[in-house]
Amino acid sequence: MNINSKVLALKYRPQTFDDLIGQEVVAETIINSIKANKIPNAYLFTGIRGIGKTTTARIIAKALNCLKGINNLCKDNFCENCKAISNSSHIDVLEMDAASKTGVDDVRDLIEFSRYGPTSANYKIFIIDEVHMLSKQAFNALLKTLEEPPEYLKFIFATTEIKKIPITVVSRCQRFDLSRIKSFELFEFIKKIKEKENGKVTDEALKLIVKISEGSVRDALSLLDRALLSLDKDQELDLNSAQKIFGYFDKSKLIDLFELILMGKETKVINIYRKIYDQGIEPKVFINDFLELLYYFKNINSLTLESTNFSLNDEEFSKIKDLSNQVDTKVLILFWQFAISSLDELDIVSNQHLSIEMFLIRLMHLNSIKSNNEAEQAEVEMNSVDSVKNTESASSAKIINQIKNISQEEKIKPEVQTEIKAEHKSNINSFEKLIEICTKKKEIKLKYELEKNVNLVKFEKNRIEISFNESLDKDFVKDLSSKLFEWTEERWIITFSKLKGQISVKDKQKNVKKELIDEVKNSKIFKNIIDNFPDAELVDVDLINKGADDD
């Protein structure tokens, strides 16, 4: 195959350690170990796609088998061994795709093949790509050979899912975590490739390619290949053309959209979003870009233009910096929570486009909240949604009712609340005091929920943070908020937390009872009773007798 007809990802695949980008530390460590003749039985490379795992494996195979030796490795004019390994045709270097050969029989054939020494190289090398795809039995079959292979045998594994590999296998390998390629390095690399290919691409378009590739060299080269093939020879690929080709939209439009949201310009916001949507932008891509923008608004004062990894240009960076001074941090955090919630919502609704429009409308109404008290109420609603979502056994109906009840509680009118003021104001300064008041006021159902189904996380003045189990009544928040206002004449914030919190009151009582029973069972009196009545069984202990003398 003519090298010029290859795709760029194959045409410019690194052939030596010097060609690798972004993995200098790994390359230096491997070279030093080979020079010192401290070669591990097996290498394990892990990292995201397209950063050089399999490529590095081949380069190691060349370094171990190069006819010129480790101190004079082939650079340009490859020896027969290096040339054969580059073409995947060397008889002593076997490459196996574990995604297609996952069974124990495949590994047994490999081990059987390993019994014979190399024919024309120093080492027989097995390169296994996507090694995490091997079955449990296949991994077990490898263990003994990995630990004590013949002198001439080396394994090189590559994976994107290190957690799926048994720890017994990982511990027998020398592990290398390959890092994502830094944006600046990747930009310089593809710029050189563009020049070699005589392509006409602006730096802004190349920066977009770097952003989309997320640190993957292969992705960046594939995108560059696609971009160069999309245009005529005399036409230059600029940022606008690149955005259309790759399905990305101008970030400045998203910043304008955000500014209009803060101003509450609903019609203009929807019109801008529809223009973005007409460009073919996926709703999930839009939400993720919106989340990225929120991050920049929150942290812009601690960032530099370079640290944004080419996501922003000079003008966009300056505009975000100016606007960020006009936005309250609480609003940004609430926006973030609503955006995360909307990502889950996209998997439920049939028309994702309409869901995004409603998401933007909700943000405008959320931003209109002025008082801190109302902002905290909105935070309660958001935390409640998150908490209910994270309860695996909660049904969809329960989620809807929970949100509905909390929303109803927030909308209780002041004039209605003033009608239910208590004659005597109660001082509730602890969770125990709250349960005591419930008992005194004969709120049995509320007392039961607090003792049985609620785990206290934090109790502060006019604020209670709790977690709950699946048995919690759907009207609990509404009932408790109403009663607290009635008893204390003050508004309380009930927040659902993802933290586990303390054990419930009922569980505490059970633990105390169990401790008492165990204490009595260890007493002399009980032991005397058991000696005289072997069939006797201790069923319960009266709590008021805790102070009784065991003797």
pLDDT in tens, 352-368: 888 899 999 988 887 66
User: What's the rounded mean pLDDT across residues 22-51?
Assistant: 92
Burial class of residue 231 in the structure, from the number of CB atoms within 10 Å of its CB (0-12 exposed, 13-18 middle, 19+ buried): middle
CATH superfamily ID and name for 3-177: P-loop containing nucleotide triphosphate hydrolases (3.40.50.300)
Asked if residue 312 has pLDDT above 50, the reply is yes
Report the pLDDT value the prediction gives residue 75, as an integer from 0 to 100.
85
CB under 8 Å to 493, separation ≥6 — which residues?
Answer: 376, 377, 380, 462, 463, 464
Gyration radius of the chain's alpha carbons: 33
User: What's the rounded mean pLDDT across residues 182-188?
Assistant: 89
Asked if residue 182 has pLDDT above 60, the reply is yes
Q: Taking the domains of the chain in order of start, what are their residue ranges?
A: 3-177, 183-246, 251-368, 406-446+453-502, 506-545
**CATH class label, 183-246:** mainly alpha
Q: In the structure, what pLDDT confidence band is assigned to residue 168 with cuts at 50, 70 and 90?
A: very high
pTM of the model: 0.58
Calculate ∠ Cα 182-185-188, nearest 5°: 145
User: What's the rounded mean pLDDT across residues 468-472?
Assistant: 81
User: What's the rounded mean pLDDT across residues 206-223?
Assistant: 88
Asked if residue 371 has pLDDT above 60, the reply is no
CATH of 251-368 given 1.25.50.10, 1.20.272.10, 3.90.1150.10, 1.20.1250.20: 1.20.272.10
Q: Do domains 183-246 and 251-368 have the same CATH topology?
A: no
Report the pLDDT value the prediction gives residue 311, as an integer from 0 to 100.
67
User: What's the rounded mean pLDDT across residues 140-160?
Assistant: 91
Cα(129)–Cα(148) distance, integer angstroms: 21
User: What's the rounded mean pLDDT across residues 387-412?
Assistant: 44
Cα(255)–Cα(258) distance, integer angstroms: 5
